[in-house]
Amino acid sequence: MNFEQAVKSIPKGKISTYGLIAKAINSGPRAVGQMLKRSKGVPCHRVIKSDGSIGGYSGTQWKKKIKILEREGIKFKDKKIMDFEKHLFKP
């Protein structure tokens, strides 16, 4: 599985972590972050930190990521995903 396949395999309403994507593609979490930063056409909003917080978006862009995920049915409290395990997808 390559990077793009791993990220595109995350279904709507689910999230995965930088670490889980890294494991699926035999890479490191920071490398996944860099690949997401440079990629077009992958649902990067569905990749979050392993503690359930957003991560990966600078400035106020995290608000945009939360809005997109909320539209997909994911709820937040204090910038962290509620019911984290329920929404977790392992590629």
Which structure tokens are listed for 33?
């972050």
DSSP state, 27?
A: S
CA nearest to 37, candidates 58, 21, 64: 58
- In the residue annotation, 67 being an active-site residue is answered as no
Given the residues 15, 22, 32, 44, select the one marked as catalytic: 44
Find out whether 86 and 32 touch, Cβ atoms under 8 Å. Answer: no
Catalytic residue positions, numbered = 44
